[in-house]
Amino acid sequence: MLLSFSIVMLLLLLIARYRSPRNGIIRIIWFFLSLLPSELPWAAALLQSVVIFFLLFFVDPFSAENVMALLLSALTLWGWYDLHCKTFHADKSLRNALRENLPELDESDVIAPSVIQWRHWLNPFYYHRQGVEHLRDIAYGPHPRQQLDIYRPATRNSATQNIATPRPVLIQVHGGGWMLGHKHQQAQPLLHFLAQHDWLCVDINYRLAPHHPYPHCLQDVKTVIAWVKQHIAEYGGDPQFIALAGESAGAHLAMLAALTAGHEEFQWDATADTRVQAVVSLYGVYDLTEDSHTWSGMVGRFLQKKIMPATPDILRIASPRHQIIKNAPPVFVIHGTTDSLVFVEDAREFVEELRQTSLAPVVYTELDGAEHGFDLFHSVRTEYTITAIEKFLRHCYETHRRSD
């Protein structure tokens, strides 16, 4: 029993440490097995220690088999500790990315190590922060999925304050493979953190495939942008500064919406102004064509059958990598090196091509050891990431205000 448990925990450590093979089914299983232990290795080590402690009451610890089990467990616990230490490397990676790509950013702010609260990463699934107000289920269209939530500082109560000092706006687009997901399920650490730091955050739902295949999802994102520009001042937001953020499929939609502002074929209202001032993309999908490192084999066939029934030309048009423009907004791209679902090579190639064309800053960082969806809950890496995102967005907002 003890040896079997030790072997299982060692295998789980290896899955958490390394990226999956490229096989479609294995990638999905690998992701579900690795997400929690790769982001919360301290919790895995604690669980393993407690289980071993209790198992020792029922076995002979000095038998050859159990001695081997204890040695394996010691090796695995050291591995969990090493994995936990690696999560702290995110701070330096993120600060270096900001420093290298935003030279105008105050150096004293960039080089100062981020301060994270231990109570956040030790309580990973508690998201609420003091002083944040949550407004729920505001309709931006007639369909039941066309609803949004607003997170804002709770201190703002009067209409006079709303008009006098509007706050910058972030629109959050959830992921889920264009088929799953719901507002309030993703990016909760980021939304509450930004609202606590004087941002107004809009967390949206959109119509999902296969009942509403692409481009309905993209059209909904653009509808939200137009809705925000028209109505967000009523809630205390600044319609002159709108940033988009997304994860995975949501990052694909956020990036594509930013790069195709004003394209009539992608929005219901051809005259609507859908320009945004910044984009934050976490482990996003940038290329849906055969050139992608991610969309091959079974995964690519599933994409075309269920989500985006399309010809190669349409898949190319739907790929942010093939919609790069010179006047793109500032972009912050974040990707994990061990992402099992969307491979980091796609992000590298997208960023390289975007930097060759765009006149705006393109900040890019790879987080060593980060899995797909690493920011779904509080962790050491998540805390550093949301701090860096706030610095990037704050810089974009201040630059925008100075240019007005």
Catalytic site residue 108? no
Of 248, 281, 292, 340, which residue is the catalytic one? 248
Among 291, 286, 290, smallest CA distance to 301 is for: 290
pLDDT higher at 404 or 127? 127
Structural domains present in the chain: 2-87 (no CATH), 89-403 (3.40.50.1820)
Of 339, 340, 378, 379, which residue is the catalytic one? 339
Q: Quick: pLDDT tens for 90-134.
A: 999 999 999 999 988 776 666 555 566 777 778 899 998 889 999
Catalytic site residue 339? yes
Of 84, 120, 335, 372, which residue is the catalytic one? 372
- The predicted pLDDT at position 104 comes to 82
Q: Is residue 32 predicted with pLDDT exceeding 50? A: yes
pTM: 0.94
Q: Quick: pLDDT tens for 344-392.
A: 999 999 999 999 999 999 999 999 999 999 999 999 999 999 999 999 9
